[in-house]
Amino acid sequence: MCLAQAAPASAIESTQQRVVKIYGAGGTSGLEAYQTGVLISAEGHVLTAWSYVLDTDTVVVILHDGRRLEGTLIGADPKLELAVLKVDVQDAPHFDLTKAPPLDAIDAGSRVFAVSNLYNVATGDEPASVQRGVVAAKASLAARRGSYRTPYTGNVLVIDAVTNNPGAAGGALVNARGELLGVLGKELRSQETNAWLNYALPASEIRGAVAELAAGRGPRRTTERASQPEQPHTLAGLGIVLVPDALPKTPPYVDRVRDGSPAAGAGIRPDDLVLMIDDQLAPSCRAVVEGLERIDRADAVKLTLLRGEELVEIKLEAAGAKP
Amino acid sequence: MQNGECRMKNAARFCIPIPSLVIAALVCLFSPCLRVSVFQLSAAAQSDDFSAREEFALRAAAKHVAPSVVRVETLGAAEGDASVASARRSSGVVIDAAGWIVTSTAAMEGDPKTILVTLADGKRLAARRVATDESRQVVLLKVDSPEKLFVPTAAPQREIAAGQWAIALGRTFDGPDASVSVGVVSAVGRVWGKAIQTDAKISPHNVGGPLVDIRGRVLGLITELPLDGAGGTEGGELYDSGIGFAVPWEHIAQVWRRLAKGENLKPGRLGIGLKSPDLFSQPAVIGACQTGSPAKKAGLKPGDRIVAVDGAAIERGAQLRQALGRKYAGDRATIEVERDGAKSTHEVELVAELPAYVRATLGVLPRRDEMALVVRHVLPGSGAETAGLKPGDKIVKLDDKPIASRSDAAAAMTEKSPGEKLSVTYERDGASATVDVVLGGFDIALPGMLPPARASLGTGEKPSLDLGTAPIKLPEFAETAAAYVPERFEGRVPLGLVVWTKAAAGENEAQLIERWKATCDASELILLVIRSKKQAVWEPGEAEFVRRAMEHVAGKYGVDRTRVALFGEGADGAFALSLAAALRGRVTAAAVAEAALPPTVELSPTEPLAPLAIYSAHATDSRQARRIDAGLARWRALKYPVTGKSLPAGMTALTGDDLADLGRWLDSLDRL
């Protein structure tokens, strides 16, 4: 009987009505010509992933009931890898991003459903496919630098289900009540482990940027700093001299500390082993230098050191110290 | 199903809220047309309610155990393979409040110099590695924590059943929560009795973390156990596949104190090889007992059929492996065998390592056109030569065992070591005689020429098989291969098989076959050339095609199983060596030129029933000399027979006389 339902039929049905199938450029040597999108306004704004599929003059958008519409690209954000299309429709069932549950209302273990046109299984009149899973974790992809090749540095919802398949990007991630939690991201593979990541961009976090795209105002230029600061920290500026970088991956032991430097003042000693720069593991001398290059001199930097068998955490400020 | 779950499911079915029941009843009485929709509404409300409660229970279980889940980060691990990062994240679980933590050996790959543990509250501590359980792939770490750590409760192992909820937790993402993956227990007692199987998504995100039941108790520790239990990193291929394994927490709770004392636990070995490689349909009949093994000391012999272990009946090889697979070195077992109709019981104490098995030989090459063991050639410098054996002699007894065939002799030899004396009874010109032969090792120097292995060079009848060059194609694979079968082959006397694994660049199949034709004809070999898909590199997944193509050709032409070799030059040779290590038993030799054994390939100890011999050639001025020698030293340390050969300066491939020399080595793989 209906006790076997994992979610109310109405929640799934309403979600499927708001998910569209998108067809465009591609279709050769491993590149698909299809992906998924979600309706975010009654007049036909469609939120989807920014990808090569949209790289064409005519993007075809097919609704859940088979209605075939032409989509026009009105805005794209390369950093979020999101785009907004416009189709000509009225009173379309849609998700209201302003009502999306905030990130801290979503816990690991919460039941979720992903609705997408993975592998282009849905063609023509059919609604997109539904998959079931739970939220595995909330994580920041940028925290593990080099782990994932993506420009997106915000938080994602990691999903315990195999959702990020060919064609699924742009699909809807909803809870059992049919509320939009996120938009399925593009296929991403960990550089370390080679494992695929199943994830969605949280609806509440991308809300503002999407509104700008929908209004045709292009990606919002935030006051974010460039990825490489103009005046970063240096070992010399902090007063740290590491052992000579002789091996391909020399362990970053401190050789000596300059008198009167910020490092000396903070209590760093020779033979300390630098383990982390701002909570990023630094397994070699080169990694320490690269880690410091990403931090502006005006900011404090946290070093985690191994002294014998003990972990020591030290916050360093270079401001005011002249090399 | 667990009691807790039965209660919950029953509750959902019967505890229908009273008000909605009353309203439903009233509406049903007065408006029949509304009946269906009301039932749908209340059913939907119930399912919503039940789903929500189930979700709540799962999240609560995860939250309850999360404080015991830690993050394990390692630094300074050796990088044998470029794709392994030098900083690695894994999960771990607290097993004792004083700061003892268990994790998977996957976290400790490459023997890292620094281990950091991050507790659930964010505190970071240095950790030291205390000991390893190699059988279960579990590592014990110790941290100095000022406060007592939270220890989770174990789910009673006896109650764990397939179908119950199983939640995999990990702590590899940043943030205060443990990551969650929900599935069920798929089976218990897997991987030869050692593990719980689950379909929760096991991946680098949660390896080393706990597998938890819906009541917040730990079922087991998630590990990377490979399916055949042979060790190595095959387990990593199972990520996101629907199969994952966890070692029962109750078991870890029983053994961790031994680990805490610094004792490494190893799998226990008995020291027997089974007669039939088919574990699943054949009885457990002993094929060989290794010298110095617990089996030999307990008096077990080849031919004995094992019928019970520790009182439990054994009907097939797989059951024997299941019974012994979970035992550690130092554990005892009671083995009951049947020999010549009579049963006997033997007590054994399993060991961590068996004395290395060293192949012993008389020094004769057998004729291949006879069922019995008839000498084709006596190798110079061998015990057989000293004892006066000659070509044409028919060996009928070794020690006191009658020998009716070459395989009888091979089986008898597995019990012997080089240096031992073997009494050989042979027939020559109608008379029989007995001599004592001092056995030698496998790599005796070869002569320049070998006599043919059979009396006549073919009877003229052609078999209905493809001879000469023929393409090989298997239905499920896109790769192709080509084989060369000597034209003289009449289907009676089995040929040997050389499988040449060649990366795409360079000579094509026809050119390679041209190079080898004369050697194949002279040394009675089929050459199977397999090309990789990509230029200059083999992918691990392609090993399957190599194995299948090899089996296909071996089956089609009735190849002699004692003479199956892999061959490669340069990088292809490195691939051939790693494949040979993995396919020991199916492949009896690996011959390479200018190739070194990759340092990451694990070598298993030698086994009498799965022999593997190595032939390695390199130029005197080879830049790889040091690496090649280091690889050969590894084989020799484990007592594999290794034949080394020097090539003229600048040579990186085998041609002419050098190739003919290899041909003769391959021709003598069936030596006894």
**The pLDDT of residue B443 is above 90:** no
| C-beta atoms of B50 and A3 within 8 A | yes
| C-beta atoms of A139 and B83 within 8 A | no
| C-beta atoms of B180 and A134 within 8 A | yes
Same domain, yes or no: B106 and B160:
yes
Which residue of B83, B205, B237 to mutate against A (max A Cβ within 10 Å)?
Answer: B205
**CATH number, domain with residue B169:** 2.40.10.120
Which residue of B174, B184, B202 to mutate against A (max A Cβ within 10 Å)?
Answer: B174
| C-beta atoms of A160 and B48 within 8 A | no
Q: Which of B83, B124, B180 sits opposite A311 (nearest CB)?
A: B124
Q: What is the pLDDT of residue B463?
A: 66
Would you call B46 an interface residue with chain A, using a CB distance cutoff of 8 Å? yes
Same domain, yes or no: A180 and A241:
no
Q: What is the pLDDT of residue A143?
A: 59
Same domain, yes or no: B422 and B500:
no
Residue of A257, A267, A251 whose CA lies nearest to A236 = A257
Q: Which pLDDT band, with edges at 50, 70 and 90, does B82 fall under? A: very low
| C-beta atoms of B88 and A192 within 8 A | yes
CA distance B178 to B65: 9
Same domain, yes or no: A42 and A170:
yes
**The pLDDT of residue A66 is above 60:** yes
Same domain, yes or no: B249 and B278:
no
CA distance B335 to B131: 30
**The pLDDT of residue B35 is above 70:** no
Alpha-carbon gap: B319 to the closest alpha carbon of chain A (Å): 35
User: Which residues in chain A have Cβ-Cβ distances shorter than 8 Å to B11?
Assistant: none
User: Which residues in chain B have Cβ-Cβ distances shorter than 8 Å to A249?
Assistant: 79, 86
Beta strand B87-96 pairing with B69-75:
antiparallel
Q: What is the pLDDT of residue A323?
A: 42
Q: Which of A139, A193, A284 sits opposite B175 (nearest CB)?
A: A139
| C-beta atoms of A192 and B240 within 8 A | no
What's chain B's average pLDDT?
85
Same domain, yes or no: B345 and B371:
no
Q: What is the pLDDT of residue A133?
A: 94
Residue A176 lies in a domain: yes
Which amino acid is it at A279?
D
Same domain, yes or no: B491 and B614:
yes
| C-beta atoms of B43 and A1 within 8 A | yes
Same domain, yes or no: A129 and A254:
no
Alpha-carbon gap: A252 to the closest alpha carbon of chain B (Å): 10
Alpha-carbon gap: B144 to the closest alpha carbon of chain A (Å): 9
Residue A219 lies in a domain: no
Residue of B415, B399, B441 whose CA lies nearest to B273 = B415
User: Which residues in chain B have Cβ-Cβ distances shorter than 8 Å to A136?
Assistant: 179-181, 201, 205
| C-beta atoms of A281 and B144 within 8 A | no
Please state the length of chain B.
672
Q: Which pLDDT band, with edges at 50, 70 and 90, does B10 fall under? A: very low
Q: CA B590, B594, B598: angle at the middle one, nearest 5? A: 65
Residue of B553, B387, B414, B574 whose CA lies nearest to B482 = B553
Show contacts of B571-574: CB within 8 Å, 24+ apart: B571/B503, B571/B536, B571/B537, B571/B538, B571/B595, B572/B500, B572/B501, B572/B502, B572/B503, B572/B538, B574/B598
Residue A221 lies in a domain: no
**Region B312-326 average pLDDT:** 93
| C-beta atoms of A138 and B173 within 8 A | yes
Any idea what DSSP says for residue A233?
A: -
pTM for this model (two decimals): 0.78
Tens-place pLDDT, residues B390-421: 999 999 999 888 999 888 898 888 888 899 99
Tens-place pLDDT, residues A67-118: 999 999 999 988 899 999 999 999 999 999 999 999 999 999 999 999 999 9
Residue B571 Cα distances to A54, B81, B536, B650, B669, angstroms: 43, 15, 8, 17, 24
**The pLDDT of residue A299 is above 90:** no
The label of the residue with tokens 């579990």 reads B138
Alpha-carbon gap: B173 to the closest alpha carbon of chain A (Å): 6
Would you call B199 an interface residue with chain A, using a CB distance cutoff of 8 Å? no
Residue A321 lies in a domain: no
Q: Lowest mean pLDDT of A131-145, A252-266, B61-75, B511-525, name the range.
A: A131-145
Tens-place pLDDT, residues B275-300: 888 889 999 999 888 888 999 999 99
Q: Which of B55, B173, B204 sits opposite A111 (nearest CB)?
A: B55
Q: What is the pLDDT of residue B20?
A: 47
**Region B498-509 average pLDDT:** 78
Alpha-carbon gap: A150 to the closest alpha carbon of chain B (Å): 17
Tens-place pLDDT, residues B583-637: 888 899 999 999 999 988 889 888 888 899 999 999 988 888 999 999 999 999 9
**What is the distance, to the nearest Å, from the Cα of residue B545 to the centroid of all Cα atoms in its chain?**
18
Q: Using CA of residue B318, residue B322, residue B327, residue B333, what is the dihedral sign?
A: negative
Same domain, yes or no: B525 and B659:
yes
Residue B456 lies in a domain: no
Q: Using CA of residue B155, residue B157, residue B163, residue B169, what is the dihedral sign?
A: positive
Residue A240 lies in a domain: yes
Could you tell me which chain B residue has the CA closest to the CA of A112? B55
| C-beta atoms of B173 and A137 within 8 A | yes
**Region A147-157 average pLDDT:** 82
User: Which residues in chain A have Cβ-Cβ distances shorter than 8 Å to B51?
Assistant: 5-7, 111, 176
Residue A269: CA atoms inside 13 Å, Cβ hemisphere, count? 7
Same domain, yes or no: B166 and B206:
yes
Q: What is the pLDDT of residue B635?
A: 94
Q: What is the pLDDT of residue B138?
A: 96
**The pLDDT of residue A270 is above 90:** yes
Q: Which pLDDT band, with edges at 50, 70 and 90, does A320 fall under? A: low
Residue A175 lies in a domain: yes
Same domain, yes or no: A90 and A133:
yes
Residue B589 sits at φ, ψ, to 5 deg, of -155, 155
To the nearest 10 degrees (0 to 180), the angle between helices B571-582 and B543-557 is 70
**CATH number, domain with residue B516:** 3.40.50.1820
User: Which residues in chain A have Cβ-Cβ distances shorter than 8 Å to B199?
Assistant: none
Q: What is the pLDDT of residue B6?
A: 37
Q: What is the pLDDT of residue A58?
A: 81
Same domain, yes or no: B78 and B52:
no
Q: What percent of chain A has pLDDT over 90?
A: 57
**Region A190-218 average pLDDT:** 88
Q: Lowest mean pLDDT of A52-61, A87-96, B141-150, B539-548, name the range.
A: B539-548
Tokens, residue B590: 């690996």
B12, B40, B61 - which closes a domain: B61
Q: Which pLDDT band, with edges at 50, 70 and 90, does A308 fall under? A: confident
Could you tell me which chain A residue has the CA closest to the CA of B12? A3
User: Which residues in chain B have Cβ-Cβ distances shorter than 8 Å to A311?
Assistant: 116, 124-126
Q: What is the pLDDT of residue A249?
A: 76
| C-beta atoms of A176 and B51 within 8 A | yes
Any idea what DSSP says for residue B90?
A: E
Give how many domains chain A has, as a whole number. Answer: 2
**What is the distance, to the nearest Å, from the Cα of residue B326 to the centroid of all Cα atoms in its chain?**
16
To the nearest 10 degrees (0 to 180), the angle between helices B3-14 and B35-65 is 150
| C-beta atoms of A10 and B44 within 8 A | yes
Tens-place pLDDT, residues B122-138: 999 999 999 999 999 99
Q: Lowest mean pLDDT of B123-132, B205-214, B415-424, B445-454, name the range.
A: B445-454
Residue of B158, B230, B194 whose CA lies nearest to B585 = B230
* E strand or H helix at B11: helix B3-14
| C-beta atoms of B126 and A311 within 8 A | yes
Q: What percent of chain A has pLDDT over 70?
A: 89
Could you tell me which chain A residue has the CA closest to the CA of B43? A2
3-state secondary structure of A31: coil
B306, B322, B349 - which closes a domain: B349
CA distance B383 to B363: 6
Quickly count: other Cβ atoms within 10 Å of residue A294's Cβ.
16
| C-beta atoms of B180 and A4 within 8 A | no
**ipTM confidence:** 0.84
Tokens, residue B321: 């492996």
Give how many domains chain B has, as a whole number. Answer: 5
Residue B399 Cα distances to B387, B422, B483, angstroms: 15, 6, 42
**The pLDDT of residue B9 is above 50:** no
Would you call B37 an interface residue with chain A, using a CB distance cutoff of 8 Å? no
| C-beta atoms of B79 and A2 within 8 A | no
Could you tell me which chain B residue has the CA closest to the CA of A306? B126
**CATH number, domain with residue A299:** 2.30.42.10
Which residue of B20, B179, B240 to mutate against A (max A Cβ within 10 Å)?
Answer: B179
* The CA-based dihedral angle spanning residues B297, B302, B307, B308, taken in that order and rounded to the nearest 10 degrees: 20
Alpha-carbon gap: A144 to the closest alpha carbon of chain B (Å): 9
The label of the residue with tokens 């949280």 reads A202
Q: Which pLDDT band, with edges at 50, 70 and 90, does B533 fall under? A: confident
CA distance B621 to B651: 9
Q: CA B496, B502, B505: angle at the middle one, nearest 5? A: 155
| C-beta atoms of B144 and A251 within 8 A | no
Q: What is the pLDDT of residue B599?
A: 87
CA distance A257 to A305: 14
Domain of B19 in residue numbering reads as 3-61
CA distance B546 to B526: 15
DSSP states of B184-211: EEEEEEHHHHTEEEE-S--STTTTTSEE
- Give the contacts of B154 (CB within 8 A, at least 6 positions apart): B217, B218, B249, B250, B253
Same domain, yes or no: B281 and B335:
yes
**Region B487-500 average pLDDT:** 80
Domain of A135 in residue numbering reads as 2-214
Interface of B with A in 327-356 (CB under 8 A): none
Same domain, yes or no: B51 and B103:
no
Same domain, yes or no: A199 and A99:
yes
Residue of B622, B514, B518, B521 whose CA lies nearest to B573 = B622
Residue A194: CA atoms inside 13 Å, Cβ hemisphere, count? 8
Q: Which pLDDT band, with edges at 50, 70 and 90, does B7 fall under? A: very low
Same domain, yes or no: A280 and A164:
no
Residue A313 Cα distances to A91, A310, B196, B273, angstroms: 57, 10, 40, 56
Q: What is the pLDDT of residue B556?
A: 87
Q: Using CA of residue B310, residue B311, residue B315, residue B319, what is the dihedral sign?
A: negative
Could you tell me which chain A residue has the CA closest to the CA of B106? A193
Same domain, yes or no: B8 and B128:
no
Same domain, yes or no: A119 and A246:
no
Tokens, residue B193: 């009795």
Alpha-carbon gap: A124 to the closest alpha carbon of chain B (Å): 30
Q: What is the pLDDT of residue B13?
A: 41
| C-beta atoms of B205 and A136 within 8 A | yes
Q: Which of B44, B87, B126 sits opposite A2 (nearest CB)?
A: B44
**The pLDDT of residue B81 is above 80:** no
Tokens, residue A69: 């519409």
- Give the contacts of B511 (CB within 8 A, at least 6 positions apart): none
**Region B518-541 average pLDDT:** 81
Q: What is the pLDDT of residue B371?
A: 85
Which amino acid is it at B533?
K
User: Which residues in chain A have Cβ-Cβ distances shorter than 8 Å to B110?
Assistant: none
Interface of B with A in 117-176 (CB under 8 A): 124-126, 128, 144, 167, 173-175
First to last CA, chain A: 75
Same domain, yes or no: A50 and A124:
yes
Same domain, yes or no: B95 and B28:
no
Residue A10 Cα distances to A3, A108, B37, B40, angstroms: 14, 24, 13, 11
